[in-house]
């Protein structure tokens, strides 16, 4: 794929909002190249990476499928506040065992689905100056088929301020489709083509492939793999339970406590640090009602002087199991 071809694909993601000469975020470029059949040698999906583009160098801290460039004030004023956790008595094994018990009691979904519907908030900043671009919250609806055809539809959600409160915003209004990408047979390149078996061994193999390691991986690596898998599949309770077995066995896992996610749902948080140079601390949010993995967040471990962001700044969050939301794409 040529740079021109890639640019045209990026424009299709948001033809009304993305400037023709806008820089291409690294994760978006990687995802598009995967979809078009040019799989990278390593399957690690970095949480922090640099990319040079025609106009500027951009820092992107999430998988981007719909891109909205909007002017914004200084970066330090833009990140959401961290969730406030309350301590729990259980250790990580107890928290996961409780989630697995709830998963075993649930009957929904009965079958895995080649679909991922999520609500995400995405941050992107330029290291060359003190300003930053904040992507509007977006619904991302990925649907794909056994023949590797499918689509990614990105819909604008309500805008929020740093406290998470809904605020008025300019166009596009919530509910506007800002990206609609379709791919034909054999164009989509998933992490796993067939539904993973609901066993710890099968999930461990997926985590190793996603993290790009042969043997040992950290709890943070396992959480990054869970994020990647959740971005492509709606998993059954048994599959999520097996994935949690792998997270539980990985070193560096810690319990964050109970909280409410950014949709107000009761959750318990698990934290971990990915291996490698990424300057992020990641967390998985488990529903205390269903046991399911319903959220992922990342935050800076150390200050980022280039972006003028202090340690602890939230850099992205993704929420799943959001189909019951009235404004969710159907």
Q: Find the range with the poorest average confidence among 8-12, 48-52, 77-81.
A: 48-52
pLDDT (0 to 100) of residue 185: 97
- For residue 168, what pLDDT band results from cuts at 50, 70 and 90? low
What are the structure tokens assigned to 98, written together? Answer: 């409780």
pLDDT (0 to 100) of residue 78: 62
Handedness of CA 247, 230, 329, 323 (dihedral sign): negative
Terminal-to-terminal C-alpha distance of the chain? 32
Task: Judge whether 327 lies within some domain.
Answer: no
Task: Judge whether 326 lies within some domain.
Answer: no
Task: Judge whether 214 lies within some domain.
Answer: yes
Domain limits for position 224: 3-319
Task: Judge whether 49 lies within some domain.
Answer: yes
- Please write the tens of the pLDDT for every residue from 7-44: 434 333 333 333 333 333 334 444 444 444 433 333 33
Task: Judge whether 193 lies within some domain.
Answer: yes
What's the domain count of the chain?
1
Task: Judge whether 325 lies within some domain.
Answer: no
Task: Judge whether 330 lies within some domain.
Answer: no
- Please write the tens of the pLDDT for every residue from 304-315: 887 778 999 888
Q: Find the range with the poorest average confidence among 75-79, 88-92, 215-219, 221-225.
A: 75-79
Nearest to 264 by CA among 157, 118, 165: 165
**CA 133, 134, 135: angle at the middle one, nearest 5?**
120
User: Angle of helix 219-230 relative to helix 200-211, nearest 10 degrees?
Assistant: 100
Contact 247, 229 (CB under 8 A): no
CA 113 to chain centre: 18
Q: Which residue has the tokens 């967040």?
A: 297
Q: Is the model more confident about 137 or about 11?
A: 137
Task: Judge whether 196 lies within some domain.
Answer: yes
């Amino acid at each position: 794929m040529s740079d021109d071809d890639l640019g045209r694909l990026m424009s299709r993601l948001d033809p009304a909002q993305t400037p023709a000469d806008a820089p291409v975020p690294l994760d978006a470029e990687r995802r598009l190249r995967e979809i078009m059949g040019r799989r990278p040698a390593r399957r690690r999906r970095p949480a922090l990476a640099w990319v040079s583009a025609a106009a500027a160098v951009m820092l992107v801290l999430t998988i981007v499928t719909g891109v909205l460039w909007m002017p914004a004030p200084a970066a330090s004023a833009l990140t959401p506040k961290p969730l406030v956790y309350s301590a729990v008595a259980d250790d990580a094994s107890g928290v996961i065992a409780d989630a697995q018990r709830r998963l075993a009691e649930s009957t929904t979904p009965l079958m895995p689905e080649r679909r991922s519907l999520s609500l995400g908030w995405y941050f992107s900043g330029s290291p060359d100056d003190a300003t930053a671009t904040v992507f509007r919250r977006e619904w991302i609806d990925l649907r794909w088929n056994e023949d590797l055809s499918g689509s990614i539809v990105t819909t604008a959600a309500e805008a929020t301020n740093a406290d998470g409160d809904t605020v008025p915003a300019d166009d596009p209004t919530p509910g506007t489709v800002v990206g609609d990408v379709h791919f034909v047979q054999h164009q989509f390149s998933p992490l796993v083509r067939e539904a993973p078996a609901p066993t710890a061994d099968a999930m461990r193999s997926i985590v190793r492939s996603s993290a790009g390691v042969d043997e040992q991986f950290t709890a943070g690596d396992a959480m990054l793999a869970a994020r990647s898998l959740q971005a492509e599949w709606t998993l059954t309770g048994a599959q999520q339970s097996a994935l949690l077995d792998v997270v539980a066995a990985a070193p560096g896992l810690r319990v964050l406590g109970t909280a409410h996610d950014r949709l107000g749902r009761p959750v318990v948080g698990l934290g971990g640090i990915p291996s490698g140079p990424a300057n992020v601390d990641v967390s998985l949010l488990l529903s205390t009602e269903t046991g399911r993995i319903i959220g992922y967040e990342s935050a800076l471990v150390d200050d980022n002087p280039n972006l003028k962001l202090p340690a602890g700044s939230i850099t992205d969050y993704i929420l799943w199991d959001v189909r019951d939301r009235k404004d969710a794409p159907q």
